[in-house]
Amino acid sequence: MTEGNREWLERSRRAVWHPCTQMKAHETLPLVPIAHGAGAWLHDFDGRRYLDAVSSWWVNLFGHANPRINTALAAQLSALEHVMLAGFTHRPVVELSERLSALAPGGLGHAFYGSDGACATEIALKMAFHFWQNRDRPEKTGFVALAGSYHGETLGALAVTDVALFRDTYAPLLNRNAIVPCPDARTAGPGETPREVAARAAAALEAHLARHHATTAALIVEPLVQGASGMTMYDAHYLVRARELCTRYDVLFIADEIMTGFGRTGTLFACEQAGVVPDFLCLSKGLTGGYLPLSCVLTTDPVYAAFYADELARGFLHSHSYTGNALACRAALAVLDIFAEDDVIAANRARARRWAALAAPLAAHPRVRNFRRTGMILAFEVDTQRADFARWCFAEGLARELLLRPIGRTLYFMPPYILTDDEFGLLAGRTLEIVDRA
């Protein structure tokens, strides 16, 4: 390791408390100091590079230091960096709201902004709760989430997250919400199709709502793919049934597309594959192409109308200082321009098929289980005895110029869309070497 890398990782260990990390682990597993990024590659201070196969926590869509997003941001910098959004407005936030609403499933015409993904979850939960208060149904306070759900790590979001490692320590601080079965396609019995698994899970949701709808404010789901609990994939039929049940039982439907949005599942939004319109659509991550923190909750006329009144307290009195930040909105507009100009969704369809073909030897490896793909996300479990697989695999990846970040024994690829076939071939080939040694 050169002085450059060593200096930055030591200074970082002393001064920076890193997220989602047992800091002591960095006594043996060094941090990776990144000097610059270009396309799908991250470069450290001593000239090594890493292929960003996880899009830097699923945010990057069009590569690091993307010239088109850079240009848009530079132009915005000289016009307006930020202004508070209470009492003020600006061009990027208006244009972005109009364009998101035109692109989202029909009828989601009101955009409320936050910064990180968890802010969007908090906004949707609070709005759903407050909606029923304003509608004189104060008993509707509960939420329903799916087994294995992940909606963020602030206290409200954690209360609808079902990942024990993140949740259990804070359990006494969290509201109790209901967890219903997940339609995980891997749980299919012999001869059972993913659609039948979805129907089975929907029947459990129906039984729950039949009993508890009077006290339930909303159902929250990650449409088609549950990311953080291990890239659990399920059939769109579940979303169709969940939408029907929510409508029938007067329960609001929150689609958390913080990870699945912006093309990850093959369509711009995962909900499109089920033809459903949620009451709340939560967006973040890819929204700014991985440039700046921005999140957004889109909602419907009836929800908006329930808050529109003469009394201040009936309004949605929620805010963050950087709500609707002009630079972040401008980055998001540049991302939407790229989607339109490059017909990204159509190009991705062909790209995903080529990636699946390049990953075929990996899918056929005797240690690989449940190889699966939804759109631009590929995932599989590795059959290994290594208790430290995730950590070991991360280090093996770095040694082969790959940024891989397994979740337990689940390995997945969620790279930026600009990855070339050669780069994907390199990713699949070097991952195969790692799986071989697992």
Q: Which of the residues 202 through 261 are near ligand PLP (CB under 6 A)?
A: 222, 227-228, 256, 258-259
Size of the site for ligand PLP (CB under 6 A): 14
Beta bridge partners of 232: 226
Q: Which is nearer to ligand PLP, 117 or 278 (CB)?
A: 117
Rg of the chain over Cα atoms, rounded to whole angstroms, equals 22
Going by C-alpha positions, the residue among 242, 352, 241, 336 that lies closest to residue 286 is 336
Of 5 and 177, nearer to ligand PLP (C-beta) is: 177
Q: Are 29 and 9 a contacting pair, CB within 8 Å? A: no
Residue 299 sits in the site that holds ligand PLP (CB under 6 A) = no
Among 90, 130, 140, 151, binds ligand PLP (CB under 6 A): 151
Nearest distance, CB of residue 117 and ligand PLP, angstroms: 2
How many angstroms separate the CA atoms of 438 and 385, rounded? Answer: 8
76 membership: H or E segment, kind and range: helix 67-79
Indicate the DSSP class of residue 388.
Answer: T
CB 62 within 8 A of CB 69: yes
Q: How far apart, in whole angstroms, are the C-alpha atoms of residue 341 and residue 169? A: 47
User: Mapping DSSP to helix (H, G, I), strand (E, B) and coil, where does residue 438 land?
Assistant: coil
Shortest distance (Å) from residue 185 CB to ligand PLP: 18
Q: 428 near 436, Cβ under 8 Å?
A: no
Say how far apart CA 390 and CA 396 lie, in whole Å.
10
> Applying CB under 6 A, does 118 fall inside the site for ligand PLP?
yes
In the complex, what is the shortest distance from the CB of residue 221 to ligand PLP, in angstroms, rounded to a whole number?
9
- The site string for ligand PLP over 404-433 (x = CB under 6 A, - otherwise) reads ------------------------------
Closer to ligand PLP at the Cβ: 227 or 415? Answer: 227
> Tell me, what amino acid is at 64?
H
Taking contact as CB under 6 A, which single stretch among the options 5-13, 44-52, 64-72, 110-118 is the one that binds ligand PLP? 110-118
Nearer to ligand PLP, 150 or 280 (CB): 150
Near ligand PLP by CB under 6 A: residue from 92, 114, 152, 286:
152
As given in the structure block, the two tokens for residue 84 are 């508070």
Q: Distance between CA 427 and CA 422 in Å, rounded?
A: 9
List the x/- string, 273-292, binding to ligand PLP by CB under 6 A.
Answer: -----------x--------
d(CA 255, CA 24): 37
Per CB under 6 A, the segment of 113-121, 136-144, 321-329, 425-433 that binds ligand PLP is 113-121
Which range of residues in 36-44, 115-123, 362-370, 378-386 is near ligand PLP by CB under 6 A?
A: 115-123
Which residues, 121 to 140, sit near ligand PLP by CB under 6 A? 121
Sheet of 216-221, strand order: 110-114, 295-299, 280-283, 252-256, 216-221, 142-146, 178-180
Nearest approach in angstroms of CB 343 to ligand PLP is 26
Residue whose beta carbon is closest to ligand PLP: 117
What's 175's DSSP letter? P
Give the three-class secondary structure for 392.
helix
Residues at the contact surface with ligand PLP, assessed by CB under 6 A = 116-118, 121, 150-152, 222, 227-228, 256, 258-259, 284
